[in-house]
Amino acid sequence: MRNDPMTNSRMKLGLLVEVILLASVSPALAQQSDKDLIGRPPQVQTSPQPSAAPLTITLQDALARARQNEPQFLAAQTEARSAREDRVQAKASLLPGASLRSDFLNTQGNGILPSGRYVTNDGVHVYREWGVVHQDLSANTFNRTTYRRSMAVEAQALARAEVAQRGLTVTVTRAYYALVGAQRKYATAQQSLQQSNRFLMISQDLERGGEVAHSDVVKLQLQQLTQEQALREATLALETTRLDLAVLVFPDFNENFQVVDDLQLVPSVPPLPEVQAMAARDNPDLRVAMNALRAASYDITIARQALLPSLAVDMVYGLEANQVALHAHLPADPNLRFPTLGYFLTASLTVPTWDWGLRRSRIRQTEIRRQQAQVELTAAQRQVLRNLNAAYQEVQTARDQVNLLRNAADLAAESLRLNTLRYQAGEATVLDLVDAQNTLTSTLNGLDDAQIRYKVAIATLQTVTGPF
């Protein structure tokens, strides 16, 4: 035991160091409420920025920017727009088509009569000015099978675009909060290095007073070097995560931006029965499979309709004469003048008779594809149930982990404070002090990882259920 003056001196020094440590270590933890899921809310200036003010983006900003730049998502959107045009074209093909036709027939004369050598022409020069209306009449025309199939394909493409969008949301969320977590870990590394510097100064002062051995100073010097390396690693991780997010959200690879730390803002998760109802009502993977089955069913109908007769009707109005005029002269009788405008109707009925089994083979082929679509729908339903339960359990586990690590961070901060006082009073070794500091650092980093995990878990759950 040391004498009372020495003990009193150390106690005074301990109180001073305690005040310094409490000012630098525990204010953020002490200000947390019981309902807050966030251990610390640091916003850190990490590295020198360019002269221009950095752009501040939120998660919603990052998502909006990524939707304008990410190739796979844009490819899904392009497919959906193309499917819409296919639907428009399928609908237009059911309606009558009109066209204008202008022909000039120059026939070699026969040298005897004013008409040409070809029996179809009554003169050397024949002009045709027609307006043509064409209409195909078949089972597809009346049932609109092709149009309905195009609607199913469009719905399938839109569902795939929704799948791509929700997947992109998870990717951007993970990259965004990876950067937020890297900022927090950088702040923790800075704080740990500052603590190591203070502990080293305290140990050197105690060594000069003959109260601790030189080995304590050496141990804290090693701890200081370790924290310096940890700060370098945190800096590297911060820059790497910044680059990862920049690739997703900026077309020109802009690195001059900063993100908003909103890890404490988390939506409430509905109970499991409500989540299951949302997944059954608004899951894009199920819509993809169901519309694929619908399209396959329409393919069978189209293949069967090929066995039925079809009718093509062409209505022509205009002139076919030796002059382009409302009234013309007949070359065989120049004194005879007659009107040229008129119409004629052509109707062609096609009855399938023999095709060497081609149509029957197409029917069997479409039936095979429908069976596969049915299998894929059943598998998609099972997969959605699996993904739903796994994602929901992940959310619950991540939330519990956040709460546990938040309590652990409070305990680790208190442990460091007490071990600092005990070391100053000569009741704890330098190993206890170093271990308490490392425990606090690892706990704070683990808390950051748990909060990011919780955010990503919610985004993953929403890929199954939709936003809530």
pLDDT at residue 64 in the model: 95
SS3 string of 349-391? EECCCCCCCHHHHHHHHHHHHHHHHHHHHHHHHHHHHHHHHHH
Residue 43 has pLDDT above 50, yes or no: no
Taking 60 as the threshold, does the pLDDT of residue 8 lie above it? no
- Please state, for a pLDDT cut of 90, what percent of the chain lies above it: 71
Of 18-22, 82-86, 280-284, give the lowest mean pLDDT range: 18-22
Give the CATH number of domain 4-34+55-94+144-308+352-465; options: 1.10.10.10, 2.40.50.140, 1.20.20.10, 1.20.1600.10: 1.20.1600.10
Question: Mean pLDDT across the chain, nearest whole number?
Answer: 87
Strand partners of residue 343: 317
Largest CA distance in the chain: 147
Q: How far apart are CA 442 and CA 439, in angstroms?
A: 5
Question: What is the rounded CA–CA span in Å between residue 177 and residue 164?
Answer: 20
The closest of 201, 200, 204, 208 to 224, measured between CA atoms, is 200
* pTM value surpassing 0.95: no
Residue 25 has pLDDT above 80, yes or no: no
Summarize the confidence of residues 43-72 as an average pLDDT: 78
> If you average pLDDT over residues 325-332, what whole number do you get?
80
> What percentage of the chain has pLDDT greater than the value 70?
88
Contact of 63 with 169, CB cutoff 8 Å: yes
- Residues 410, 37: Cα–Cα separation, whole Å: 13
Write down the domain spans for the chain. 4-34+55-94+144-308+352-465, 96-143+309-351
Q: Which residues pair with 129 in a beta bridge?
A: 102, 319
> What confidence score (pLDDT) does residue 17 get?
38
Least confident among 37-41, 127-131, 404-408: 37-41
Over residues 288-308, the mean pLDDT reads: 95
Which amino acid, residue 168? L
Q: What is the pLDDT of residue 21?
A: 42
**Could you read off the pLDDT of 422-461 as tens digits, one per residue?**
998 888 899 999 999 999 999 999 999 999 999 999 999 9
| Residue 177 clears pLDDT 90, i.e. is over it | yes
